[in-house]
Every structure is written in C-alpha cells, then in structure tokens.
Structure 1
Amino acid sequence: MSEASKALQKIARGTGIVFAGTMISMFFGFLSRAIIARYFTTSEYGVFNLALTVLSIALVIATLGFQNALPREVAFYKEKEPSRVRDLISTALIIVVVNSLIWTAILFLEAGSISQVFDEARLAYALKIMAFALPFSALIGTMISISRGFGRVREQVYFQNILYPILWLIFVLSLTILNLPFASIFYVYLLAQSLKFFVLIFEVYRIKLFELKFSFDLKLGKELVVFSLPLMFVGILNFLMTWTDTLMLGYYKSSEVVGLYSAASPLARLIPIFLNSAGILYAPIVTSLYAQGKIKEMGKVYQILTKWIFLLTLPIFSVMFLFPEATILFIFGEKYISAAPALQILALGFMFHTFLGLNGLTLVVIGQPKLNMIGDTFAVVSNVVLNVLLIPKYGIVGAAVATAVSYFVANVFRSFWLYQKTKIHPFSWNYVKPLAISFVLLGLVKNLHLKVLNIWYAIPVLVVFLAVYFFLVLLSRSVDKEDVELFLAIEKRLGINLEIIKKILRRFV
C-alpha cells in the first residue's frame, strides 16, 4: 500500500469520527441556544451573544494562533526532532497561560469601556464574569491542538464535541427549572468551561498523552510565536469575514433584514462540514510526509481527499442550490422564504471554498502561514468594499455576493501560492471529470425551472440527480486506485460486506 493510501485511510477514519462529533455538538448546541432564546428576553439573548462574541475575539488573541499552529508543529518536531517535543509543548502551554491571564485582566478592567462601545450597560457585568473563563478556554483549545499533533481526534470529539455541549445543555436546563435570573447564565458558562478543563487535564494525565512539566525554551517559544502570529491574524480575519455582512446589514438596513439573512447564512456555512472535519487530522498526517520530503505523496493525498470531500459535499450543496425555497421553508418557515436567492449565492461561495480543498492548511504544513494571512486580508477588504457598494441597493443579495466573492478571492490566492510553492493542486484528471459532470447536470436541472416549495417533493428529484451523477462518474472511469483502497478500508472498519458495490466498482476501475 502506498504512503498516500495509508495517509488517506488515517484521515478518513478521523474525518468520520469528527463528523459524527460535529453533528452531536451542533444538535446539542442548537437545543441550548433555543432554550436560552425562549427563556430569556430578546435583548438578554442579545447581550449573551455579544459577550460570547467579545470573548471569542479575546480567545483568538490569547492563544496567538497556537490552535492552528500546534498540530503542524508537534507533528513536525515529532518527525524531525522528537527529543524537543516535550519542551515545545511545555513552552506553548506556559505562553498561553501567561497571555490568557493578561487578556483576562484586560477584559475585566475594560469591561465598562467595551460595553459603552456597544451601548449596552449589561455587557460590562457579563464580561467581568465570563472573562475568567478565558484561561480555561485557551488551555483547552491548546491541549486539544497538541493531541491533534499526535494524530489523535479523541480529545477533540469527546471533550469539545460531546462532553461540553451536553454539560452546557444540562446547566442551561437547570437555569430554567430553578427559575434563576439572567446573570446566572454567565456564572454557569464559567462553571462549564472550568469543569471541561479539569476533566481534560485529568484525562491527559491518566493516558500520559504528554508530560505536564515546567520547561520553557526561549528559542522554541520565539519560533512558535513567529510561526503562529499570522495564524492569529487569519483567525481574526475569518471572524471579520463571518460577521461583516451581518453587521453592515444591521447598519444599512434593519433588524428584520438581518433576521432574513441569518436564515440563509448558517445553512450555507454547513457546506464545508466535510472539509472542516477532514482538516482536523490532515495537518499532522501530511506534515509527517512534508518532514520526510515526500511532496509527491502530499500532492496525491491532496487530490484524492479533495475529490472525496467534493463528492460528499455535493448532495448538501445541490439541495440548497437547486431548491433554496424548499430548504428555507422546511427549516425556518414561510416568513424567511425571501432569503432563498441569498442562500443560492452563499452556497456557490462556500462550494467554491470546498472544491479547491484544504489549500490553507497545506500552506501551514509547508511553513507558509503568512500567505494565508495575505490572502485573507485581500478577501476581507473585498468583502467590506462590496458590502458598502451592494447592500444599500440589493440588501441581503448584495451581502451574499460580497461574502461569496471574498471566499473566492481567499481561495484563489491560497491555491495560487500553494501551486507556486509545491506544484500541488486538486485538479487530477479523475477529479476534473466529476467536476465537469456536476456542472452540466446542475445546469440542466436549474434550466428546468422547477419551483419546488415542499422539501419532500425536492428529495426524489435530488435522489435521481445524484443517482445519474454517480453513474456518470463511474462511466467516465473517474475512480483511482487509492479510492478503492480507501473504500475497502472503510468496509473493513465498519465490519460489513459491501459486495454489490464492489462488483459495480470492478466494472469501472
């Protein structure tokens, strides 16, 4: 079995586990938010979300981009200089502890000033409590990133995706049952974060994942911070890309328009779910290949993985792009149906982000995080400029165009630089053929002008579309040897016999 196949199988196993954990997290997270929104007033719910937003920005700064850098750095040193891994981990944790405590103090002392910026007095009280959760959140994220560097997803899934959402839901339900006042939700948030931290610390110590030992290497610390700072700015830029359209719609239009857009945007952001799940283990595994100088194998992994991500994402994209009215009607109800055009445009933007693959992470793997920062800066600037030009006249459609274009710009930059540095790109001949088939079929179905408002009528059309699509993919012989090896590994992992599918594959491979 080739190095590429081995890497793909490891990534596939991790992707399946992370995807399941993500779905569980989303489900419990949705329940918690629904309960908070129903139990408290609209303005109180707004204060809570505003406090979370401020804390999220502080978390990005407090961790200095380590959450994105450490999976690569741990894997790289593990391959090149294993004796320095312990010092790297200890140094990273010490830096995060010190920096997060500094930002905790800043948040606490400046809570009043921050609340004045948003003209919301209650935000000051909220931030003074939630600020103390910052060190716990920063260390949790850092330790989970370290575990990913060792090729593990258990800590990510068990603690981040399962334990915390369930714990948070229990606490939120307790608030409603005990009829506690609004301020109690901030204390509960602090309690949930601290409990998650102590349980994770106990687990790290129990399984001896790494030694919790005081050791600070100044040279390693400088290298890590220099490497990570561009990733911190990327985190801030991604935050701006996520919220700029919503904030500018609120500025130029009304809260009602923001509400409409808030139906389309979260749905479209589900499209990269497989891409994000695959990214959890991609960096450490591919870093190992990079450290060994196996750029060709890296390219093969990139191409096969991108094709699989595209094939898995296509059904989600198709239902949103072909039947946006039915999708919104089914989930949000009739009053949000005017957001359908925005959903279509956003779906195109996020699908473009998906079909080019994990270009940003690969730039991090090859030690070029600055290029990510430059590309995302151009994307944010284009997003703001287009929002200013388009929102006053076109409303949510203008905001959707601005966001879609910004993701297009960011990904074109990343893919261009990745190809320039390594000659890695996603477009193998066996990926181009499925892409062309999907474009043609989507165009044909779109030109039928099917006005389907009921999701149950849309599903049969979608099933036929996908059946024809996958038949044409097989007919075009777009299956690689690594695809078959990956399929057989999944079959073995699931413990089931997929003989019928194997018979079909034998005819076309």
Structure 2
Amino acid sequence: MTDQNPSEENPHTDNSSTDDSEFSQDDAVRGILKGAGVVYAGLILNMGIAFVAQRFAAVHLSIGGFGSLLSGTALLDVGAVVAGLGLSSGLIRYLPRVDEGQKRPLVKYAFLFTLPFSLVVAIPTVAFADVIASQVFGDPEIAISLRIFGATIPFAAILNLAIGGIRGQMVSRFRVYIKDILHPSIRFGLIMVAVVVGAGQAGFAAGYAIPYIVGAVVAVVLLWKVLPRGKGMEAGKSVLPEMVRYSLPFTVSGLASFIYRSIDIFLILYLLDSRAVGMYGVAYAFARLIAMFSTAFTYLSTPVSSQLEDDDRVNEAVAVQGTIARWIIIATTAALVPMSVFASEFLGLIYRPAYATGGTVLVILVAGFAIKNVLQTHGPILEALGKSKLAAFNTSTAAVVNVVTNLALIPRFGIEGAAVATSISFIVLGGLPMVEVWYYTSLTSLSRTVFAPAFLAVPISIAAIPVFRATPPTLLWVLATSAAFVLFYAVAVIAVLGFTRADVMVIRSVEDKYGVPLGPFDAVLRRFS
C-alpha cells in the first residue's frame, strides 16, 4: 500500500503544471468518448442483431426447445475453449515478435495442433450426444442441439485461432468484419429462414452453427492474406515450444471465464430441466442489454488508464474512471428502474406470455448487471498497474463462487436462485478489483458525486409508483411510461445535481467537433454547470 494518497495535491505545486495535467486528463476523457461512440455503434449492431435473432428463436420454439438451444451454444463455447489450447492468445503475442519468415510456419503449427485436438473433443460429443443428454442431464430433448453444436466445435476453434492470428498481425478491421458484421448477419438471416419455414430445434440450431463454419473459412482466408510468405516449417520450430507454454494457461483462464459466464446454464439443465434453461436464458439475455452501458467505456479506457499510470499519474487515471462511473450510473439507473418495475410485462410482451413468470429472475439479474457496470470501472486501473495475475485470480474466484452458490441455491430456489448466484459472482468480480486498487493506490473511482444520481432516483421512483401501477399492460404503454421516467429522471439529474466540469467539457467538445448548435440547451448548460 502506498504511504501517501496520490490524490493529495502539494499546495506548492506550480499552477502551470496543474493546467497541463488537467488538459491531459480532459484529453483522455475526450478520447474515450470519441472511441466509445465507434465501439458502441458496432456493439449495438452486434447485440441488436443477436437479441432479435434470439427473440425469434425464443418465440417460435417451445420453452424447452429454446433451453436446449442455449445448452448447445454453451457446449460450443466450452468446447472451443478446450479445443483451442489457448493458441489464439499465443498468436496475438508472438506474431508481432517473430521474423517475417517465421510467421506463416508458426501459424501452420498452431493449426496442426488445434485441428486434431478439436476433433478429439467434437467426435465423442457427437457420437455420445444421446447418452450425454439422457444420462448426464436427464433430458433427451437436448440431444439434437448437443450433436449439431458438438460437430461445430472444430470450426469455432479454428475461427478463434484465425481471429487471434489476424489480431497478431494487427489488422483489426478484419476481426470486426467477421465477428461483428458477418457472423451475426448470417445468423440472423438463417434464423429468419427457420422462422419462415417453421423449422424445429434442429433448424434453429443449424442457424446458430452455420455462421461458425462460414466465419472460420473467411477468417482463415483473410489470415493467409495478411501473412507474409514464409520459410519452411523448420523456421517456426524454435519459437513453437515457447508459444505453446505461453498459450496453455489461457485454456485454464478461458475455462474459468466460461464457468463465470455460463456454468449456470449447465447447472440449471442438470438440476432442473431444459424448460428452466429457456426461462432463465430469456431473462438473462434481456438483462444483459444493460451491460452495453459499460462495455465500450471499459474496453476503451484501459489503454488511457495505462498511459496515465505510465506517466506516474495514477490519481488522474482514477479520476477519469470516476467520471466514466458517474455516466454509467446515470445510464444504468435510467434503464434499471423501468426494467425492474415492468420486468414481467417486458418478458411477456416482447417474447410471449409464458415467459412473464421469469420477471423475478429479470429483476435480480438486472440489479446484478447494474452493480457490475459500476464496479467494473476499477478493472482498467488494475490492468494499467500491470496486475494481470490478479485479473486472472479475480475471474477464477468469481467462477468458483458462481459454481458453489449455484449448487447451493438452484435446488432450493430454482432459477431465481441461479439469478442470485450469478449476481453474487458479478459483485465478486467487480468488488475484488475495487479492493485491490484501493490496496495499491489508496484510491477508488467511486465517490459521493458518482453515486449521487443513483440516490436521486430513489425518491423519483417512489413518487412514480402510482403511475407505474396505473400503466396498462400493453407494449406501447409500458414503453411510453418507461420513456417518460427516463426523461423525467434526466431532467431531475440536471436540475438537482447539475453538470460537472467533465460533463461540460465533453458537451462543448461535441459542439465544436461536429458543429452541432446546442440551441436552448446552451442556456441550460450555463445555468446548471
């Protein structure tokens, strides 16, 4: 732990130095906001297409059939992690480091490892799908999904490996083309075909699986396009052992990440049934939309925090995260209240009435995602401090907590228990970095200013209860009431809390950069800043 709080300013510090520091901090926030807009565009496109496709699958399949589909996708995820041997991470690290002539042989070796090992994982899964479905999970209905997604494991592993190679060659646009545009678009198109022809579980499973096949082929072609001409296979042998040793631990961390994210699907399937998986999966997918508010900012703020920390300005890195945390709390709270109040209505109206019984699960998961959104602002600081081992420890700890709490709560409380377990693991994953950052820096991105918008929402929500209760249970009315709450809450935040200096800086930057006149809002900005 540091001896002195880095945020404490020396009263004798030169003013010009302070100004430079403040300018750099503002520039960091501007950079994050500028990049976040681009990332959000891709993120919203990807998540939007995925959400709509999943919605059609949930509506047109039985609840049990949809649960089987989710179980198959979870199997594909874990199979790809195991089959990939972590070599995609190895390519990301080593391709920029080796000689041009070694790159292509090194990639070939990676494929020679991954392809046969992926078949070792996939073939038994396909061959024994019926046994796994009936004997392990006690639900024969999921066998068809296990078989289809099991057969897709080699393609998913190859896709991940090729994407790793593309990232290692630092051609990020190809990764965006494949993962954010091609893959979700093909899936959406195939799901629409399945809807039109009235396909069953197998048709929808194929709609989810085929994009991995197409994506793998395209990714390999693009990877070969960006690789320089190589020497013989001997050229890659000297680096191969080191890369394999580096890569294998990522299989463990990948499994820990999977357990943290998706083990609840398998545990619900094992302890309950595929219908429960379907009910839980719908609530989880809808609740996950709230994670959009933090994903882009967290992703983009990591290099900014790293740059500030490298200049021995950790306090400024934390201050930047505090600004981001405040914005995340405002956006998250605005979505949290309507999604919680109208949880059953949203599930029943967007999907179908049978899913409305998952309202309690949605409330619990939305609360968990909201807490995770805020606590995750410490993650980039921890990475900037170079504590990557702690990040792996945190994920592994959250995974263990997720398994233990699911096993304890699902038998007694069903899918509501699974939601509580998942939310607890979210708190662990976000809370540990907060404690660790405080230990190493005596700082935190959270403060009274950051939490003030959440506190303000409490009396507003209580006052809105009569309106919520009087809202007719139709999609139009629920959306209109939700929008009215968001608008009123935004006005209250401005009127009661006003704009911070960082808020004003960002708004003025947008005005200057894009030439967007603020009009009457300019007077509001001046009045409440």
Fold conserved between structures, TM > 0.5: yes
Other structure's SS at 1:411 match: helix
Q: What does residue 100 of structure 1 align with?
A: 114
Residues 1:473 and 2:488 are matched in the alignment? no
Residues 1:160 and 2:179 are matched in the alignment? yes
Give the conservation status (yes or no) of the 8 Å contact 1:14–1:281: yes
Residues 1:506 and 2:520 are matched in the alignment? no
Residue type of the alignment partner of 2:330: L
Residue type of the alignment partner of 1:139: L
Describe the superposition over 1:436-469 as per-residue Cα deviations: whole angstroms up to 9, x where unpaired.
2234434554698736433443445444543443
Specify whether residues 174 and 390 from structure 1 end up closer, same or farther in structure 2 by C-alpha distance, changes over 3 A only: closer
Q: What does residue 117 of structure 1 align with?
A: 132
Give the conservation status (yes or no) of the 8 Å contact 1:272–1:354: yes
TM alignment of 1:54-453, pairs within 5 A: 54-61=75-82, 97=111, 99-112=113-126, 115=129, 116-119=131-134, 126=148, 129-143=151-165, 145-146=167-168, 154-170=173-189, 185=206, 188-189=210-211, 191-198=213-220, 200-201=222-223, 205=226, 222=242, 232-442=251-461, 445=464, 450=469, 452=471, 453=473
Give the conservation status (yes or no) of the 8 Å contact 1:274–1:309: yes
CA distance, structure 1, for counterparts of residue 514 and residue 185 of structure 2: 27
Describe the superposition over 1:316-344 as per-residue Cα deviations: whole angstroms up to 9, x where unpaired.
22211222132223212322222212211
CA distance, structure 2, for counterparts of residue 416 and residue 108 of structure 1: 41
CA distance, structure 1, for counterparts of residue 109 and residue 309 of structure 2: 27
Specify whether residues 446 and 225 from structure 1 end up closer, same or farther in structure 2 by C-alpha distance, changes over 3 A only: farther
Give the conservation status (yes or no) of the 8 Å contact 2:67–2:276: no
How far the C-alpha of 1:88 sits from its partner, in A, is 12
Describe the superposition over 1:415-438 as per-residue Cα deviations: whole angstroms up to 9, x where unpaired.
111222234422144313223223
Describe the superposition over 1:9-32 as per-residue Cα deviations: whole angstroms up to 9, x where unpaired.
232233222222233223433555
Residue type of the alignment partner of 2:114: S
Give the conservation status (yes or no) of the 8 Å contact 1:129–1:190: no
CA distance, structure 2, for counterparts of residue 324 and residue 217 of structure 1: 56
Structure 1 stretch 345-354 or stretch 325-334: which is displaced more? 325-334
Give the conservation status (yes or no) of the 8 Å contact 2:59–2:351: no
Structure 1: runs of 5 or more not aligned:
none
Give the conservation status (yes or no) of the 8 Å contact 2:378–2:433: yes
Specify whether residues 3 and 166 from structure 1 end up closer, same or farther in structure 2 by C-alpha distance, changes over 3 A only: same
Specify whether residues 444 and 249 from structure 1 end up closer, same or farther in structure 2 by C-alpha distance, changes over 3 A only: farther
Give the conservation status (yes or no) of the 8 Å contact 2:405–2:421: yes
Other structure's SS at 1:271 match: helix
Give the conservation status (yes or no) of the 8 Å contact 2:28–2:320: yes
Other structure's SS at 1:356 match: helix
Q: How many residues in Structure 1 have an aligned counterpart in Structure 2? A: 493
How far the C-alpha of 1:277 sits from its partner, in A, is 2.4
Residue type of the alignment partner of 1:14: G
Residue type of the alignment partner of 1:100: T
Q: Normalised by the size of structure 1, how large is the TM-score?
A: 0.78
Q: What does residue 507 of structure 2 align with?
A: 487
CA distance, structure 2, for counterparts of residue 237 and residue 483 of structure 1: 38
Other structure's SS at 1:420 match: helix
Other structure's SS at 1:416 match: helix
Give the conservation status (yes or no) of the 8 Å contact 1:5–1:482: yes
Specify whether residues 420 and 476 from structure 1 end up closer, same or farther in structure 2 by C-alpha distance, changes over 3 A only: farther
Give the conservation status (yes or no) of the 8 Å contact 2:80–2:118: no
Structure 2: runs of 5 or more not aligned:
1-21, 135-139
Specify whether residues 249 and 46 from structure 1 end up closer, same or farther in structure 2 by C-alpha distance, changes over 3 A only: closer
CA distance, structure 1, for counterparts of residue 222 and residue 336 of structure 2: 36
Specify whether residues 463 and 127 from structure 1 end up closer, same or farther in structure 2 by C-alpha distance, changes over 3 A only: closer
Specify whether residues 122 and 447 from structure 1 end up closer, same or farther in structure 2 by C-alpha distance, changes over 3 A only: closer
How far the C-alpha of 1:128 sits from its partner, in A, is 7.0
Specify whether residues 361 and 173 from structure 1 end up closer, same or farther in structure 2 by C-alpha distance, changes over 3 A only: same
CA distance, structure 1, for counterparts of residue 389 and residue 154 of structure 2: 31
Other structure's SS at 2:289 match: coil
CA distance, structure 2, for counterparts of residue 507 and residue 96 of structure 1: 61
CA distance, structure 1, for counterparts of residue 229 and residue 375 of structure 2: 39
Specify whether residues 267 and 191 from structure 1 end up closer, same or farther in structure 2 by C-alpha distance, changes over 3 A only: closer
Describe the superposition over 1:472-501 as per-residue Cα deviations: whole angstroms up to 9, x where unpaired.
433455533332222233345555222333
Specify whether residues 196 and 359 from structure 1 end up closer, same or farther in structure 2 by C-alpha distance, changes over 3 A only: farther
Q: Normalised by the size of structure 2, how large is the TM-score?
A: 0.76
- Aligned-pair identity in percent equals 21
Other structure's SS at 1:358 match: helix
Q: Aligned Cα RMSD in Å?
A: 4.4
